[in-house]
Structure 1
Amino acid sequence: MTPKFLFFRSSRIQYHVVGEGEPLLLVHGYQADSRIWEKMVPLLKEHFMLIIPDLPGHGQSPLIQATNDMDFLADVLYSIILSGGHSGISIAGHSMGGYAAMAFADKYPNLTDRLILLNTHPFEDGMNKMLARNREAEIIQEGKKEILLRNFVQNNFNRSSSNALKEEIQLATQIALSQPENGMLADLAGMMARKPRIELVQKKRLQADFILGMADSRIPIKFFEQLNKELVNIHWLADCGHMSMLEKPAEVAEIILKL
């Protein structure tokens, strides 16, 4: 894929465009960049124009500010969409990318055709999660990023399938290790500061679909018992952890194509 660039607040943001059809923005999460979607691209590019950015502080896009708060990331996505001249777009966001996608839909509802939310949720961080993120930030600041990430990435995958997913785990680990420390710290600060989007995803006018792993250790199933099932579509993937686009790419693509 040939990279494209735009300038946002005097910083160069990199993104890729591949395929033809209705635009679909693929937004990566924490510890990742646009490469995390590589198994999804061949499954979707014949049906969509895929727009795949590196968020600030990830991949080839430099960090712009100390906190990657979700409204700021929504503005970055808006600039990318505007540069392509799109009047409406569907957004698929993974994990933190889902938080950014929900912030975009909240801020730019008239541009949002559909939300596809992979391994993410609309709730704010609880106290235990905030404590865990703060401890994670401390480990990064202590220069122990590699130790942290090798354990963290492994635990993102369904443990019972880890032997069959060695290639995918290696890819995710390589991508995570290549992310700059300042970007990771900005993400952690932004995720802790985010607000809940429960009302947003339950709005009748918004088409919101969650794609979730039954074996996702990061997101308890009980979270989704709080949502109105008549207003939110939830697609469960068996034997899948937190990395659905790497663990079950064909199943994820099938769900997206049916929406």
Structure 2
Amino acid sequence: MIAYTQQGSGPALILIHGFCESKEMWKTFAADLSTNHTVYCPDLPGFGESPLADHHISMEKAAVSLQEWIEEQGISNPIVIGHSLGGYVTLALAELMDHGLKAIGLFHSTAFPDDEEKKHNRNKTIEFIKKHGVDKFVESFVPPLFSEQHRAEQNGQIAELIQFGKKSSKNGMITFTAAMRDRKDRFELWKTFPFPKLMIAGELDTAVKIEASRKHQPYAMHYHELIGTGHMGMFEETDTTLQIIKNFLKDVEK
């Protein structure tokens, strides 16, 4: 079962949250973008209000769950934009549905797989969650996602995201960490996906290095770097990123 919110009318837009996040993170974006689109914000299995039925997950399995949900809702030819983990799932969904998506967007995400250093860090994350649990991990995980210069002004938002993150299931966090570690390289898919593509990158993003993001630029219809911004541009630069998405949607719908 996929829990979700639905708002507005018009062409379908699906916003997919990242790791330790939930559909609530998109509430400002969904309210604004619903003027011209039907905006769907699902909870990935194991996060928010969506249960994880299996003890193993992969990007491919998550994509199958979303495809089944899309079909159940009668959603046709959606635009899909994913944040971080949500971007990995978006790419897997694009591979699965092929021409069934109108456009895709990576919001602080990448088509590249984890390198060895990142895989090592994922393994440390799994051990930390097993030992200390969800709450302690989320409290340490969320603040560094914001660039240091934005953290103080975003204290209230960080606190809210921590509360949302604590709704994540322990098994969901562990299995998705392993799934991110083991995900395959989809850069060739990014290059060859025949429909419009959006990339939003943060100059100071410690989760997705800006050098990696720049390699996606030649294949994107819209590519944007947010100066002085970390991994959470939808909060650090709300007005700017909202306008970027609106401009992309406008071009997609031409």
What TM-score results when the alignment is normalised by the length of structure 2?
A: 0.92
1:212-251 equivalences in 2 (<5 Å): 212-227=201-216, 229-232=217-220, 233-251=222-240
Over 3 Å counting, the alpha-carbon distance change for 1:204 and 1:75 in structure 2 is closer
Q: Structure 1 stretch 218-227 or stretch 102-111: which is displaced more?
A: 218-227
Q: 1:225 to 1:116 in 2, by over 3 A?
A: closer
Query: Residue 15 of structure 2 contacts residue 42 of structure 2 at CA under 8 Å; is this kept in 1?
Result: yes
Amino acid aligned to 1:196: D
| Alignment of 1:110 onto 2:93 | no
- Alignment coverage as a number of residue pairs: 247
Q: Which has the higher helix share?
A: 2
Partner of 1:55: 44
Secondary structure of the equivalent of 2:132?
coil
Task: State whether structure 2 residue 187 is matched by structure 1 residue 198.
Answer: yes
Aligned-pair CA distance for 1:202:
1.1
**Structure 1 partner of 2:80:** 91
Identity of aligned residues (%): 28
Is 1:44 the equivalent of 2:33? yes
Deviation at 1:188, TM superposition (A): 0.6
Q: Distance in 2 between matches of 1:133 and 1:196?
A: 17
**SS of the residue aligned with 1:64?**
coil
* Equivalent position of 1:64 in the other structure: 53
Residue of structure 1 in register with 2:251 after alignment: none
Matched residue type, 2:114: D
* 1:37-186 map, 5 Å: 37-186=26-175
Q: Could you report, residue by residue, the CA deviation over 1:63-118 in whole angstroms, capped at 9, with x for unpaired residues?
A: 12122211111111111211222331100100000000000001111111111110
Extract unaligned runs of 5+ from structure 1: 1-11
Per the alignment, in what secondary structure is the counterpart of residue 142 of structure 2?
helix
- TM normalised by structure 1 equals 0.91
**Are 1:14 and 2:3 an aligned pair?**
yes
Distance 1:85 1:180 in 2: 28
Deviation at 1:39, TM superposition (A): 2.2
Residues 1:33 and 2:22 are matched in the alignment: yes
Q: In structure 1, the residue corresponding to 2:164 is in which secondary structure? A: helix
Give 1:225 deviation, angstroms: 4.0
Query: Runs in 1 of length 4+ with deviation above 6 angstroms?
Result: none
Contact 1:39 / 1:246 at 8 angstroms: preserved in 2? no
8 Å CA contact 1:217–1:242 kept in 2: the answer is yes
